[in-house]
Amino acid sequence: MMVKALRYFLTLHTLHRYSTFVNWELWWPQFPILVYFKETQTKPEGQIHFFPVIFNGRQLYDIMVERAGSSETSGPGP
């Protein structure tokens, strides 16, 4: 159920195409509470966004890697 809710959130409620993500991070990987991403769909120089992690952090990380590619510094945590 949690995975379905997470996928629903990331597909239907996301206004930004993953292909426009310049970078994204899960803060803090061991206990993720915040997601940061920068995209170029809103403005060419990039727009920064933050949203709280209200899902399983590991599942969110895996889906972000699947959809947006690897993060530069975030890891999935333990």
Give the domain ranges of the chain.
Answer: 2-68
Dist. CA 46–CA 13, nearest whole Å: 20
pTM score: 0.68
pLDDT tens, position by position, 46-65: 989 888 888 788 888 888 88
pLDDT tens digits, 11-23: 544 566 788 888 8
Nearest 5 degrees, angle CA 55-CA 56-CA 60? 80
Residue type, 20: T
Distances (CA, A) of 57 to 2, 41, 42, 67: 11, 25, 26, 15
